Structure 1
Amino acid sequence: MKRKNFLKISALSTIAISNLNAYNLFNNSTIQKNNEIIKPPRLKAGDTVGLVSPAGFLSEKSLNESIENMEKLGFKVKVGKNVLERNGYLAGTDQQRADDINEMFRDESVNAIVCTRGGYGVARMLHLLDYDAIKNNPKILIGYSDITALLYGIFSQTGLVAFHGPVATSTFDEFSTKYFEKVLMENSERTLLPMYEEHQEDSYLIRSGHAKGKLVGGNLSIVVSLIGTPYDVDLTDKILYLEEVREEPYRIDRFLTQLISSGKLKNAAGIAMGVFRNCEIDPDRPSFERSFTLKEVLFDRLFDLGIPVVYGLSFGHIANKYTLPFGIEAEFNSTEKTITLLENTVE
């Protein structure tokens, strides 16, 4: 065999083996079903929060804003060593981002973990997380958007309740701060999550009714992308909450159709949607390319499910949002547009 051909075959073999190893990492991921629910210790004033960037890269200015936001809330701050790393559109390599999360869970001086921002990339490193360390050192972890994948991964593999809410770079207005503190710092057995008053006008009822079940969900496109992975969550008797940003109605249609066709929504208890920001028809598109509005898509895809459904609750890519637990029993009233947590979210 010529040396040139041998080297080429050797290189291809190395790539193939590398890809096979990567496949096996995902294929052999532990699938833990019916985990016992674990509630993290509540946050207290003066506690230390760890900042991590598990998705998109972060600027130094945004990091400073994150630290300032947390300190204004009364917390000390510990910054992950890779928070400012950059690898293309990611905050460092998959391993670096996973390392920061693993380290924050292992670090006894850190009481809670707050993601600095969303973006993309969490799903790439779910197989690199130390789920035993996470399960044995339960802590609050909070974020939204792409962080949905982290909530799914942690809950599906450990049973630890995580939280869909502000990231460290969010605007901590009065409403957001109030419900951040209510859900993460108060050990209440019953918490009403009402709509922010100014969101009422743009919200609408799709199907009236009441439902009880565990709350799960997050960003719609991320929820759909996890179908068929070890990190997916069974939606039977669950209240699914969804939010989205910058997706046109036909793409929302596609995501919802996949949820329906996969059977995921067959036995769901209800669907509570937040604000789908900038998800209307692009006004600059030629008229012949326009079709359904977001509202028409939501009614078309979800009304016939026969379960309570509402659009426009106070969460998502917006200011004035409340914090939602992942894995806690709740009551959903689509007519009144409220969610009531029926148990304490933290210990």
Structure 2
Amino acid sequence: MSHIYVFSPSSAVRDKAAFRRGVARLKALGHEVEIDEAALASHMRFAGDDETRIAAIHRAAASGADVALISRGGYGLTRILPGIRYKAVAKAIGKGTQFVGLSDFTAFQNAVLSKTGAVTWSGPALGEDFGAEGEADDIMLACFDDLLLGQGEGTGWRVPQRDVDATPARRLQGIEHATLWGGNLAVLVSLLGTPYLAPPDGGVLFVEDVNEHPFRIERMLTQLLHAGVLAKQKAIVFGQFTNYRTVPHDKGFKLQTVVDWLRTQVKTPVLTGLPFGHVPTKVLLPVGARVDLALSGRDAFLVWGHAHGHDHDHDPHAHSHGH
């Protein structure tokens, strides 16, 4: 049984039913669930005013929980980044509290990485994932279990053939001990030029987004490109980009157009299809950890087992999940 601390650092919880379902599901899985006193607070669109949400983050860090899990994303973290006590967060992580979330949580994760070098996890949110109607996604649940058991060692997924054709395996050779970083693309770009984003040289950058038209995705990638960030990465990995609509005057301009264009702009390998984003099937990814990335045919492997100092006499892909 694990101790899971649920807190709300961003937008107010609007779907209370999903929140309750998420708590019930975690309890049914045998976990002890502690709900932050302000988890359901509301101030304008936020889960409480700025001071309330900063205090919630600090309570999560002081909770001694195995996992500090966000209730939801939305918006709200970038405006409170200066108020967070990063040393306290890093100390909690050092003692074993894993911070897990996605979307707006990207701001917190990259701020923690830039300020302390500590590892956090891109992964599920309480309402959206554990509180899903019907069954929660089994791959997400398995990856979350791996985190709790200290067994998560990597993830694997199938890339499209065009990725293989554009990215010969030799270009991925030697991608070892590279820092994994990234998250929600819009949030990442909002941190450029601030003290809360220190893009690692020679890193593996992963990105995802929701409700963003491909031209907006291209515009954001262009900003990272012109800021010199993309050329310094060993690989760029696209997660899931969902919930957008193309329009007639796009005249064939689509997400694949953006990927193809990006490949003309950087020598860095670009892979797609990572099972992460605003989708039910999501793996957990250690932001700030050292990873290896390899491509075998159409099978991509992102491995971080060595980041946790585990014994590696066994297959490093034994605990990988993908689709």
Give the TM-score, by structure 2 length: 0.84
Distance 1:268 1:302, change over 3 A: same
The Cα of 1:135 is off from its aligned counterpart by: 2.3
Pick aligned residue for 2:77 from 116, 122, 134? 122
2:102 corresponds to which of 118, 141, 144: 144
Aligned letter for 2:9?
A: P
Does 2:137 align with 1:173?
Answer: yes
CA contact (8 A) 1:48 1:78 kept: yes
**1:194 is aligned to 2:156:** yes
- Pair 277,97 (structure 1): closer, same or farther in 2 beyond 3 Å: same
Of stretches 211-220 and 130-139 in structure 1, the one that deviates more from structure 2 is: 130-139
Deviates more, 1:288-297 or 1:243-252: 288-297
Residue 228 (1) aligns with residue 193 (2): yes
Give the gaps of 5 or more residues in structure 1.
Answer: 1-45
Q: 1:203 to 1:85 in 2, by over 3 A?
A: farther
CA contact (8 A) 1:214 1:327 kept: yes
Q: Deviations over 1:270-320 (max 9, x none)?
A: 011111112451xxx3x3354511100121023431122111111111112
> Following the alignment from structure 1 to structure 2, what is the Cα–Cα distance between the partners of residues 303 and 343?
33
CA contact (8 A) 2:291 2:307 kept: no
2:41 to 80, 85, 91: 85
Match of 1:73 in 2: 29
Q: 1:207 aligns with which of 167, 171, 177?
A: 167
1:333 maps to 294
| Higher gyration radius (CA) | 1
Shift of 1:147: 0.8
Q: Does 1:55 align with 2:13?
A: no
1:331·1:342 contact (CA, 8 Å) conserved in 2? no
CA RMSD of aligned residues (A): 2.2
Say if 2:62 and 2:92, in contact at 8 Å, map to a contact too: yes
| Maintained 8 Å contact 1:207/1:307 | no
Is the deviation greater in 248-257 or in 334-343? 334-343
Partner Cα distance (1:305, 1:343) in 2? 29
Spell out, residue by residue over 1:194-238, the C-alpha distance to the aligned partner (whole angstroms, 9 max, x if none): 22x7xx679955534312311111011111111111110223110
| 3-state secondary structure, aligned to 2:200 | coil
Q: Which residue of 1 is the match for residue 234 of structure 2?
A: 269
Q: Residue deviations 1:42-97, cap 9 Å, x none?
A: xxxx2211111111110332321221132133211111111111122211111111
Aligned partner of 2:70: which letter? Answer: C
For 2:305 and 2:234, locate their aligned partners in 1 and report how far apart those are by CA, in whole Å: 15
Q: Matched residue of 1:166: which SS? A: coil
Structure-2 change in CA distance of 1:112 and 1:159 (3 Å):
same
TM norm structure 1: 0.78
Output the CA distance in 2 between the equivalents of 1:167 and 1:126.
20
**d(CA) in 2 for partners of 1:312, 1:50:** 31
Aligned counterparts, 1:298-317, within 5 A: 298-317=259-278
Q: Residue in 2 aligned with 1:159?
A: 117
How far is the alpha carbon of 1:137 from its aligned partner?
2.2
**Amino acid of the residue matched to residue 262 of structure 1?**
A
Which range moves more in the overlay, 142-151 or 178-187? 178-187
Q: Report if the CA contact (8 A) 1:187-1:345 is conserved.
A: no
Check the 8 A contact 1:280/1:294 in 2, yes or no: no
Give the deviation of 1:179 after TM superposition: 1.4
Any stretches of 5+ residues in structure 2 without a counterpart?
Answer: 311-323
Would the aligned equivalents of 1:217 and 1:326 in 2 still touch at CA under 8 Å?
yes
